[in-house]
Structure 1
Amino acid sequence: MMNLMWVGQRPLLLPVPKRFTFVAQALKPNRGISFCSPAVPFSNRSHGFGKRICLRKIKRLQVVARAGSAGIADPSDFSANSASRGFPWISRVRAICFYLMTGITAIFLFMAMILAHPFVLLCDRHQRKAHHWIAKTWAWLTILPFYSVEFQGLENLPPDNVAAVYVSNHQSFLDIYTLLTLGKSFKFISKRSIFLFPVIGWAMFLLGIIPIRRMDTRSQMDCLKRCIELVKKGTSVYFFPEGTRSKDGKLGTFKKGAFSVASKTGASVVAVTLMGTGVLMPSGMEGFLNSGNVKVVIHKPLEGNNAEELMDSARSTIADTLLLNGFGVH
């Protein structure tokens, strides 16, 4: 028989409407969460037929309940032992407003992209600076009411006419919005399925975002070839070398693809550290948006022709910055 999870002295086997209220009460500082080691039978007849809530979801609920009040969003919010100091429904409302804002602004700015697209193809087919300026405007309009961004090391950004390979940690759905506010004409890599999304996906196509099928080896090779071509033509590319968003806010293992592009083209690698986005909107909880601030650190460009060495140097740079600010590293 499966072990039951207990909060205080009661098992978490509740009908759907009561879950959030009961779990939120259990997350108060004077209440604990533990697993009941004996196999204790429990009937759910008196409580309806709710599913058991797993510890992972409780961790996520705690992140929602704790919204950073000042400065960079607190990295300790990823901890399962942190105390609640907020209301999940407020984060839910903020997320709804966030998506309404991004959707409404995207419609109008997408129309501007369509009007400018013929001229962009004629005059600036590869970098598409006009489209990126529109994307920057869209990102700022979307995030401005909800969180602020602090940039450090802007002087380390290469000139617009110098192609580079940008790499950073990946914490949240908010990472793209935050990076677009830099106003640099780099090309992200995105799942091909996202291009099917109305307006947003179409805008990504106009921006020249590079599509990829994650589990398709041939698609990955084509993506790297496309990146090499773009860099040789003077256009920067942006990679998240972890390959996916971090589930716990800790830096994961890097993959070598981005650094192979840099070593084969002679482009410099610009490491970027993102802090706070994963606390504001944790991976897997895109329906919630906490309050707080985000910090972006742009590090000095790395030079070299050895992909392994570039990868190790970039990861060490980002890892050191994360550790210095209280974030974890695997």
Structure 2
Amino acid sequence: MQLLRSLFFYVCLFLSTFLLGIAAVVVAYITRNQGLAHKVGRLWGNVNLWGAGVTVKLSGLNNIDVSASYVYAANHQSWFDIFAILGKLPVQFRWLAKQELFRIPILGHAMGSIGYIPINRKDRRQAFESISEAAGRVRDGISVVIFPEGTRSTDGVMQAFKKGGFILAIQSQQPIVPISISGSYRILPKQGDWNIRPGVIRMTIGRPIPTAGLSTKQRDQLIAAVREAIRANLTKGEGGLLPTNEF
């Protein structure tokens, strides 16, 4: 059954990326509306969650104003974090994503059409230009989602946070919202086989943490506050505070 589920998911992933990727590009080109193209991306996330037999339990939505702009910061356990956030976070947002993803045929074009922001982690100057661009988007009313760890955890345990996303939040002077993603590591670990294990991902939206009035000199305190807010809704096995059997 696991093999059949895995094959079904990868067929869904290929077809949805091809068809919905083209759809996002066409919608953005014809309508000039990135928000509408983002909704196509949201459908892509939900289709792939369905294809994998994954359920997302979302809580904490009452902590945010869905019409406001924020910097959302989430821990990163699996590729399924992307599907979960894209499919289930009911707000307009743009990803700050590594530049390499934009070179993937169709997917990269779709990301560019929707308005996602590439970041070149190998070039410090270009990386800061991307951060400044993203901060401007947030000030203009469009939220941005970041993974402060920079990459997926190899064992499901939260890693150290990089500073760039927090400089973005401080530059925007808009609140940063912690998102705790628990259980996605079980679906598809970064290291191991490519088999899909259907299950449940718990996604918890925390209370916004203000950045108004902060300077970059205070980024370490901001990092610590966001990290603890994310940990509060992770299991101890994930480097968090909840009992493992709480999941």
Whether 1:310 aligns to 2:222 is: yes
Q: Deviations over 1:221-279 (max 9, x none)?
A: 12211112211221111111111110111111112222222222210010000011111
Of 93, 98, 111, the residue aligned with 2:9 is 98
The yes-or-no answer on 1:163 pairing with 2:75 is: no
**TM-score, with length taken from structure 2:** 0.87
Q: Deviations over 1:68-110 (max 9, x none)?
A: xxxxxxxxxxxxxxxxxxxxxx544433321210221233323
Match of 1:236 in 2: 143
User: What SS is found at the alignment partner of 1:296?
Assistant: strand
- Alpha-carbon distance between aligned partners in 2 of 1:195 and 1:258, rounded to the nearest angstrom: 19
Show CA shifts across 1:132-174 (max 9, x none).
11111121122114111100111123333x2211101000011
Mapping 1:267-282, distance limit 5 Å: 267-282=174-189
Give the match's secondary structure for 2:93: coil
Tell me the SS of whatever aligns to 2:111: helix
Q: 2:125 aligns with which of 209, 218, 229?
A: 218
Task: Write out aligned runs for 1:124-139 (5 A).
Answer: 124=33, 128-139=34-45
Partner SS state of residue 167, structure 1:
strand
Gapped runs of 5+ residues in structure 2? 241-247
**One-letter amino acid matched to 2:83:** Y
Q: Are the structure 2 counterparts of residues 184 and 317 from structure 1 closer, same or farther at C-alpha, using a change threshold of 3 Å?
A: same
Q: What residue is the counterpart of 2:245 in the other structure?
A: none
Are 1:328 and 2:239 an aligned pair? yes
2:191 to 272, 284, 294: 284
SS of the aligned residue for 2:91 comes to coil
TM-score with structure 1 length normalisation?
0.66
2:24 is aligned with 1:113? yes
Structure with higher Rg: it is 1
Structure 1 letter corresponding to 2:17? A
Q: 1:92 to 1:200 in 2, by over 3 A?
A: farther
Q: Which moved more, 1:134-143 or 1:185-194?
A: 185-194
CA contact (8 A) 1:262 1:307 kept: no
SS of residue matched to 2:238 = coil
Judged with a 3 Å threshold, the aligned counterparts in structure 2 of structure 1 residues 113 and 323 are, in CA distance, closer, same or farther, namely closer
Distance 1:279 1:118 in 2: 38
User: Post-superposition shift, 1:307?
Assistant: 2.4
Secondary structure at 1:270's aligned position in 2? Answer: strand
8 Å Cα contact 2:99-2:118 kept in structure 1: yes
Q: Structure 1 regions of 5+ residues with no counterpart?
A: 1-89
Please give the root-mean-square deviation of Cα atoms over the aligned residues, in Å: 1.9
Between the two proteins, the alignment pairs up a number of residues equal to 233
